[in-house]
Amino acid sequence: MNILVIAEKRNAAQRIAKILSGGRYETIKKGRNAYYSFTKGKDRYFVVPLRGHILHMDYPDKFKRWSLGDLQRLVDEEPIKIIKEKGIANILRTLAKDADMLIIATDYDREGELIGVESLSITNFKGPVKRAKFSALTEREIENAFSNLVDVNYNLASAAETRQKIDLAWGASLTRFISLASSRRGKDYLSVGRVQSPTLALIVKREKEIENFVPTPYWNIKGLFFKRRNFSGMHISNPFWKEEEVMEVYEKVKDTKSAKVLDFVQEDRKIRPPIPFNTTEFLSEATKLGFSAAKAMRLAEELYMGGYISYPRTDNTVYPKTLSINSILKSLEKSKFKEEALKLQKERRRYPTRGKKESTDHPPIVPTRGANLEGDKGKIYELVVRRFMATLAQDLEYRESKVKLAVKDEIFEAKGKELVNEGWLYYYPYVRFEEEKIPILRIGDEVKVKKIEIERKETRPPARYTQSSLIREMEKLNLGTKSTRAEIIQKLFERGYVRGNPIRPTQLGKALIESLEGNNVDVIKPDMTARLEMDMDEIEKGSKAPEFVVKESREMLKKILSSLEENRSTVGSNIKSSMRREIGECPDGGKLIYLERKRLVVCENDGETKYYNLPKTGHIEFLDKKCPICGLPLIKIIRRGQSPEIRCLNSKCEYNRKKDIVGKCPKCGGDLVIRQSKNGKRFIGCSNYPKCDVTYSLPQRGKIIPTGEVCPYCGAPLLILRKKGKKDWKFCPNIKCEYNRRNKDEK
């Protein structure tokens, strides 16, 4: 029997073929595409890899030209599907002619099911079709999946296709309207999306809360005490909201030399281990390690395809009973986690921790085999391994101490905590436990008062979203899915709507949301998107017809477009004006206008226009200070991993040239200048480039300070690297120079 197997990607197809054939498979190449073939028993298998979706959903050619007059018709138009991978389609059709059975082995979720069903639709195959359902590309999982084939879940695929149709209609029509109304065509178009826009609205709303926040002052009274060791305590009435009240208490106790212990209590407490990783938990932790959500997801997918971890797109936070925890721990003995794996097997908890979300499609994210991986992929793999081990470990145990002290008749309270048993913290070092020790005291003890002081503070605005907290908020509001949230955030960055981490909206992002808000466009409201997600669940269950959901969505969209059309000029002018931010005056008069998207500042003065290009990398902040040489504003450039840099707006100004010179070139005598590469890395280059090719790499973190001295070994200028909290390091920029070796030895 000939069996055609459809896999989602090449490495997944190759791994399936390797496992099912015991390593005895043949690779057959067709142009830039390939598939795998082998014999198992009396059956001949052909495993064909896709490249994700091989069908692309779009509108007919008659709608290719953007026109405001076409938008209402565009909403009702039924999109078509175009084959975007013709080579793969031809392979599928050829092999399907002689196939007796077809097995879909794509990722088991909505998107994966749709990819499989789309591929099936172009083969015209009429024979039996089955689905191999697995959560990891391991020998055990794959063999079990192909021995226990299930039916294709067409409702699951239908839910994904319905979302595609709705997202296309909303995105295409609103993107075209906003872009045309604001005269932003071509590469400068303004993208609007069903999930993207409400996510951006969250960020803009938080930024406005911060901008409009008015801090309120408050006061704390703090005491420093001593009894065998120093410890601090706070007045039990903290915070004080009136200055006269705090001063009254302070005047009473400020000169007191001793305090009396009124109460002392110690309690042993425990902190349970964290719950298993689902996609949201994983991305939240990965972003804390410095990865973007999109990069963390990409690395996790690569680890899954390599058979190192289970499927990374899952809502589940409960290990199924079928998960072989002992087998995973045994496999980890063959990795750098051997010591932890052996220790854990001796002292693991009776039952693993569990979260509130339990599903049957995939288990939580776990390692599937021990490995020693390096680089970023190794860091993500280690995170998954350590989270898995933590969920099996004992509780963290600590001792909490509380003491109440009377300073005259004012009550202070001090709290302490000491680690008793690190438990799961041994396996999961990404969480810190801060100890605060206080002495053991008895009621009636006299304690020395070393100092009483007032702390004046102010209430703080809500924190900006990090990628971690934004993903959690998106999940809470049902914005997007476990499979799309990281991608949505990445798109906001790529389209210039947001920047930084914590995340700030750009002027463009603010302008877009304000225009949509001003015209009551429901696409920015999370509840509209959340309702659609519930509709997707109903389609998946078979209790709601896809046609009904699409029709309902189209009617809502047409009403919004009608409302926008009535305010077209206002929408366009608002966006246009917001893109021109006035940042000050030109030295000779006129206005300085910042065009954020173009990273350009324009000086407009009596018909004369001057342009100032900003650095291509880094976040730009305009300072209130002016350049002492030319009078233009000074700017602060913030690049990730580097100290902020102050420069004159005019890149050719003498202020910048003098500031960047660190010494003389040992080869030609030119100036050695700190420069930035295209990807934002700083280095030293000669001012006589290209005639002189002398360059030196620089540490990316810390402040570089010229010393005026010359290296006695190579003639390069000696520099000082200054980092906060660390001792200054004097070095030669020629990293291989003998000076650095000797200097290091001396240290």
φ/ψ of 139, rounded to 5, equals -55, -45
Measured over all CA atoms, what is the biggest interatomic distance in the chain, rounded to whole angstroms?
A: 96
What secondary structure does DSSP assign to 327-375, as a single string? Answer: HHHHHHTTSTTHHHHHHHHHH--SS----S---SSSPPB-B-S-----H
Contact indicator for 523, 198 with CB cutoff of 8 Å: yes
Q: Which two tokens stand for residue 275?
A: 């719950």
Closest CA to 18 of 387, 430, 306: 306
* Cis? peptide before 666, omega within 30° of 0: no
Cβ burial of 531 (10 Å; 0-12, 13-18, 19+) is: middle
Closest CA to 481 of 110, 162, 191: 110
CA 61 to chain centre: 36
- Is 189 one of the catalytic residues? no
Q: Which two tokens stand for residue 595?
A: 């065009």
Contact indicator for 314, 362 with CB cutoff of 8 Å: yes
Closest CA to 499 of 189, 200, 190, 212: 200
Residue in 311, 398, 465, 594 annotated catalytic: 311
Closest CA to 259 of 290, 227, 218, 287: 227
Contact indicator for 466, 252 with CB cutoff of 8 Å: no
φ/ψ of 245, rounded to 5, equals -70, -45
What secondary structure does DSSP assign to 221-277, as a single string? Answer: EEEEEESSSEEEEEETTPSBS-HHHHHHHHHHHTT--EEEEEEEEEEEEEEPPPPPB
What secondary structure does DSSP assign to 94-128, as a single string? Answer: HHHHT-SEEEEES-SSHHHHHHHHHHHHHHT--S-
Amino acid at site 631: G
Contact indicator for 553, 164 with CB cutoff of 8 Å: no
Rounded to whole angstroms, what are the CA distances from 147 to 17, 114, 130, 367, 421? 14, 23, 11, 23, 46
DSSP state of 436: B
* Cis? peptide before 615, omega within 30° of 0: no
Strand partners, 602: 593, 611
* Cis? peptide before 690, omega within 30° of 0: yes
- Where in the sequence numbering do the catalytic residues fall? 311
